């Protein structure tokens, strides 16, 4: 998401955009190469947990922090929760601490709809109680609560956005849609937890970024906003759409492999985004964006080749994911 945010921000009347990125396994400097050619964009290779953050904020005279930095893959959080606590909470603490010390004008935290936990019926609006069920979603909920306490105690100017599942170009192929696309392009089966009946809400990354930038510009201090599309499919339905677009739907039995259910896998996510006024997706619109996403991965083999098997151990049939 971060690289798309930077690209869009550089089209706006913004004086300077400062990127801080650790470039973990999911990071890729190629994602921001075009942005770095812009003289208004600067890059620091750093961990948000490091003391260097103070130097960057002070030297660049940062007046707003938008925090995309996070460990986000639920399966990884189950096998290695420490990394999520360090980045999603302690790294967040470091950013917020120096934000307060330097009197920034706004801290915008990019969170997730997963903090609500499973929504079996209806939709969760921004007043819905937090009920995280994985180490990942718990770390994001904890980060939100820490920031809200800083907002109330120290006056940190704060906005939180809770986004549904993003998809689009440059997404690391551990997430469902890029995982399915890249494995099919490599003639390997898609790996689906359980029976693939879990329901997820999808928004195209560039649509999500436009909403985040709109919130950033308005600077709604102390507010929380859901950013969703209202468009939901089961994981199996999403997978079937990708099979159809790639012309291999008739090989479904060979190209979908059902593996161990994720421990305590949330069955359904659904958020209400009326507060921000986000429009709902039509099926044809989602299909068009999914086709564009598939075309991007098909034309950027060098970007993802060699990455698609790195997370296969999370899906191995017959093995405990705990």
Active site residues: 113-114, 136
Distance CA(32)–CA(208), nearest Å, equals: 18
Distance CA(247)–CA(187), nearest Å, equals: 12
Q: Map residue 122 onto helix, strand or coil.
A: coil
Is 93 within 8 Å of 65 (Cβ atoms)?
no
Contacts of 271 (CB under 8 A, 6+ apart): 113, 116, 119, 123, 124, 125, 162, 164, 201, 226, 228
Distance CA(282)–CA(85), nearest Å, equals: 37
- Bridge-partner residues for 161, per DSSP? 110, 225
Taking Cα atoms as reference points, which of 178, 231, 223, 176 lies closest to residue 203?
A: 231
Distance CA(91)–CA(189), nearest Å, equals: 36
CA angle (239 as vertex; 5, 2 as ends), nearest 5? 10
Distance CA(24)–CA(2), nearest Å, equals: 13
Distance CA(3)–CA(30), nearest Å, equals: 10
Contacts of 98 (CB under 8 A, 6+ apart): 53, 54, 57, 58
């Amino acid at each position: 998401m971060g690289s798309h945010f930077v690209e869009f921000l550089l089209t706006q009347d913004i004086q300077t955009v400062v990127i801080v990125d650790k470039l973990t396994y999911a990071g890729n400097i190629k994602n921001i190469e075009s942005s770095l050619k812009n003289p208004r964009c600067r890059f620091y290779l750093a961990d948000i947990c490091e003391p260097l953050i103070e130097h960057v904020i002070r030297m660049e005279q940062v007046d707003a922090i938008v925090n995309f930095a996070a460990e986000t893959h639920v399966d990884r959080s189950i096998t290695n929760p420490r990394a999520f606590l360090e980045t999603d909470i302690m790294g967040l603490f470091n950013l917020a601490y120096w934000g307060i010390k330097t009197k920034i004008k706004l801290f915008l935290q990019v969170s997730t709809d997963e903090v609500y936990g499973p929504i079996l019926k209806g939709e969760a609006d921004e007043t819905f109680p937090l009920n995280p069920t994985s180490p990942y979603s718990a770390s994001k909920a904890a980060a939100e609560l820490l920031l809200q306490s800083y907002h109330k105690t120290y006056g940190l100017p704060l906005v939180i956005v809770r986004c549904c599942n993003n998809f689009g170009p440059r997404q690391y192929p551990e997430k469902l849609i890029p995982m399915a696309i890249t494995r099919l392009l490599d003639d390997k089966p898609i790996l689906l937890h359980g029976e693939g009946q879990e329901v997820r809400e999808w928004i195209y990354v560039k649509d999500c970024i436009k909403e985040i930038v709109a919130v950033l510009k308005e600077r709604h201090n102390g507010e929380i906003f859901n950013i969703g599309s209202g468009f939901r499919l089961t994981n199996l339905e999403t997978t079937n759409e990708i099979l159809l677009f790639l012309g291999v739907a008739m090989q479904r039995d060979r190209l979908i492999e059902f593996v161990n259910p994720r421990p305590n896998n949330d069955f359904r996510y659904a958020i209400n985004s009326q507060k921000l006024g986000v429009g709902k997706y039509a099926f044809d619109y989602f299909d068009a964006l999914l086709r564009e996403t598939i075309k991007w991965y098909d034309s950027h083999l060098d970007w993802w080749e060699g990455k698609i098997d790195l997370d296969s151990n999370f899906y191995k049939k017959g093995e405990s994911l705990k």
